């Protein structure tokens, strides 16, 4: 007897009518019309079944703190950092945990079952680190939370940061962070990248830096990050997050930079909702978009994932932790409206993000974890178009979230009809109806 069968699912790679059989937390078979019975059956009804969404970049310590102690009036990154500095002395262990658990519940409802969250270590008490380490363990049955030791005030600029970062790692934080563009000088930024990568090599840990989150085309710390990754043989373990200065860089220089990033096996993580909001703030018109060069990075063979970065915090007043909203914004900002490009945008919040986190057992194949999401959409592109309802979220073969499909009743000319915005198989193809 199986624990669960999901029947008649469309997969993101184009396969249709697939059944997925799960036992003891694993996918045991993936095939059309599996002849078996299970404790629970879900009829996907020719809708998309995908491996869970993954958020490759988030800030769980700041989330859901919007308006405390005040709102970000200028809307800039730097006022956000100042505001976070004002909020930090007011934080409590319990408040951080309660906001983080709330966010995790939103994430699970949206089918996001893995999050890499940066956590600010520039606090002598390491309050947020200790709170989020507890949350990581408490939420583990439902969601993989990976923590990055993030020196928000600068690894070198804040004289306490180096010791605190080591202490955070000793407590069990998973990844080494950094913020080279926030150091006092370009030289200090480069030195921070070198020191942090050496620490990662010593400790055998991955690296994920806020790198060049700036409109300054001369902010080139990603070049140093690629160099140190290569020098220390950290290939595949290092991520450059944001990389917004690449938007403004000279294209000749970028043509040299991309192969260096590829050689180093860097992962790139833009955060479209935040980049389009925070970058270009000092521009008159025309205003730069500020997101990194996603299609060009992909064409160079670099793994690109997208992160949510913020939900209702000092930097961003909106959001509900919906990775489809992230990919939707990302494909618009990057002008990725080709069919393959939209598919690629979907991968940025699923498969590619799982590679950034190094998730084991991720995917819809026999032997993988029985983690999946059923959506009210036929395929990834329709899911993006509609930011579709996640009707079922499954973790280790158990349904952990369910939602009713979104259907609206219309009352027109005395009749009642339903609208659900999907192009269901029973409806004519668009060209036939013209
Ligand atoms: Fe960030």
Q: Cα(301)–Cα(135) distance, rounded to whole angstroms?
A: 35
63 C-alpha vs ligand 1 centroid, how far in Å? 11
Q: Examine the pLDDT at 236 and tell me if it is beyond 50.
A: yes
Mean pLDDT (whole number) for 135-154:
98
Q: Cα(227)–Cα(235) distance, rounded to whole angstroms?
A: 10
Q: Cα(67)–Cα(52) distance, rounded to whole angstroms?
A: 31
Mean pLDDT (whole number) for 307-334:
97
pLDDT of residue 75: 85
Domains of the chain (ranges; CATH) run: 2-51+363-402 (2.30.40.10), 53-357 (3.20.20.140)
Phi, psi dihedral angles at 323 (to 5 degrees): -70, -20
- 267-269, strands of its sheet edge to edge: 53-59, 112-120, 144-150, 175-176, 207-211, 238-242, 267-269, 303-304
- Active-site hit among 29, 86, 134, 213: 213
Q: Cα(226)–Cα(206) distance, rounded to whole angstroms?
A: 14
- Bond prior to 153 in cis (omega within 30° of 0): no
Q: Both tokens of residue 194?
A: 């070198």
pLDDT of residue 431: 53
H helix and E strand count, the chain: 14, 17
Burial label, 79 (beta-carbon count in 10 A; 0-12, 13-18, 19+): middle
Q: Examine the pLDDT at 73 and tell me if it is beyond 50.
A: yes
pLDDT of residue 23: 98
326 C-alpha vs ligand 1 centroid, how far in Å? 14
Q: Examine the pLDDT at 426 and tell me if it is beyond 50.
A: no
pLDDT in tens, 169-192: 999 999 999 999 999 999 999 999
Taking Cα atoms as reference points, which of 76, 71, 64, 147 lies closest to residue 107? Answer: 64
241 C-alpha vs ligand 1 centroid, how far in Å? 7
Q: Examine the pLDDT at 428 and tell me if it is beyond 50.
A: no
Q: How many CB atoms within 10 Å of residue 417? A: 10
Q: Cα(385)–Cα(383) distance, rounded to whole angstroms?
A: 6
58 C-alpha vs ligand 1 centroid, how far in Å? 6
Given a contact cutoff of 8 angstroms between Cβ atoms, the answer to whether 52 and 396 are in contact is no
Given a contact cutoff of 8 angstroms between Cβ atoms, the answer to whether 111 and 401 are in contact is yes
25 C-alpha vs ligand 1 centroid, how far in Å? 32
pTM: 0.96
Confidence of residue 335 (pLDDT cuts 50, 70, 90): very high
41 is catalytic: no
pLDDT in tens, 373-382: 999 999 999 9
pLDDT of residue 434: 45
54 C-alpha vs ligand 1 centroid, how far in Å? 15
Confidence of residue 5 (pLDDT cuts 50, 70, 90): very high
Token look-up 């962070």 returns: 177
Angle separating helix axes 221-231 and 251-263, nearest 10 degrees: 20
pLDDT of residue 81: 87
Given a contact cutoff of 8 angstroms between Cβ atoms, the answer to whether 25 and 369 are in contact is yes
Where helices occur in 45-185 by DSSP H, the ranges are 77-87, 93-109, 127-139, 161-171
275 C-alpha vs ligand 1 centroid, how far in Å? 10
**Region class of 32: left (phi > 0), else alpha (psi between -120 and 50), else beta:** beta
120 C-alpha vs ligand 1 centroid, how far in Å? 10
Q: Cα(100)–Cα(129) distance, rounded to whole angstroms?
A: 12
Write down the mean pLDDT value for the chain.
Answer: 96
110 C-alpha vs ligand 1 centroid, how far in Å? 20
More confident residue, 350 or 1: 350
185 C-alpha vs ligand 1 centroid, how far in Å? 20
Q: Examine the pLDDT at 348 and tell me if it is beyond 70.
A: yes
pLDDT of residue 424: 60
Confidence of residue 433 (pLDDT cuts 50, 70, 90): very low
pLDDT in tens, 324-334: 999 999 999 99
% the chain with pLDDT above 90: 93
pLDDT of residue 258: 98
% the chain with pLDDT above 70: 97
Q: Examine the pLDDT at 293 and tell me if it is beyond 80.
A: yes
256 C-alpha vs ligand 1 centroid, how far in Å? 26
210 C-alpha vs ligand 1 centroid, how far in Å? 6
């Amino acid at each position: 007897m199986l624990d669960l069968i999901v029947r008649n699912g469309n997969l993101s790679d184009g396969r249709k009518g697939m059944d997925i059989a799960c036992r003891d937390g694993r996918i045991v078979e993936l095939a059309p019309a599996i002849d078996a019975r299970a404790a629970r059956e879900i009829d996907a009804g020719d809708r998309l079944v995908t491996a869970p969404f993954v958020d490759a970049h988030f800030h769980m310590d700041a989330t859901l703190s919007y308006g405390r102690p005040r709102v970000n009036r200028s809307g800039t990154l730097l006022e956000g950092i100042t505001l976070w500095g004002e909020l930090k002395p007011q934080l409590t262990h319990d408040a951080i945990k309660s906001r983080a658990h709330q966010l995790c519940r939103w994430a699970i409802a949206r089918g996001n079952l893995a999050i890499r969250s940066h956590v600010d270590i520039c606090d002598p008490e390491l309050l947020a680190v200790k709170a989020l380490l507890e949350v990581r363990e408490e939420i583990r049955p439902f969601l993989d939370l990976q923590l990055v030791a993030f020196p928000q005030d600068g690894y070198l600029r804040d004289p306490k940061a180096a010791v605190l970062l080591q202490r955070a790692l000793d407590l069990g934080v998973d990844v080494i962070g950094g913020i080279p563009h926030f150091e006092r000088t370009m030289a200090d930024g480069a030195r921070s990248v070198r020191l942090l990568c050496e620490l990662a090599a010593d400790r055998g840990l991955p690296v994920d830096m806020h790198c060049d989150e700036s409109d300054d085309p001369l902010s080139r710390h990603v070049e140093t990050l690629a160099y140190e990754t290569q020098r220390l043989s950290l290939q595949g373990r290092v991520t450059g997050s944001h990389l917004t200065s690449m938007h403004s860089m000279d294209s000749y220089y970028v043509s040299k930079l991309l192969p260096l990033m590829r050689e180093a096996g860097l992962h790139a993580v833009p955060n479209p909702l935040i980049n389009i909001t925070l970058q270009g703030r000092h521009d008159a018109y025309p205003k730069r978009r500020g997101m990194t060069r996603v299609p060009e990075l992909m064409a160079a063979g670099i793994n690109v994932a997208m992160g949510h970065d913020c939900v209702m915090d000092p930097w961003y007043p909106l959001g509900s932790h919906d990775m489809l909203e992230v990919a939707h914004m990302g494909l618009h900002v990057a002008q990725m409206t080709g069919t393959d490009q939209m598919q690629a945008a979907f991968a940025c919040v699923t498969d590619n993000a799982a590679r950034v986190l190094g998730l084991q057992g991720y995917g819809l194949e026999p032997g993988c974890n029985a983690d999946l999401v059923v959506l009210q959409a036929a395929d990834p592109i329709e899911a993006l178009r509609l930011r579709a309802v996640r009707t079922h979220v499954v973790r280790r073969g158990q349904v952990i979230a369910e939602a009713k499909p979104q259907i609206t009743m219309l009352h027109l000319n005395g009749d009642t009809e339903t609208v659900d915005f999907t192009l269901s198989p029973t409806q004519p193809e668009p060209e036939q109806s013209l």
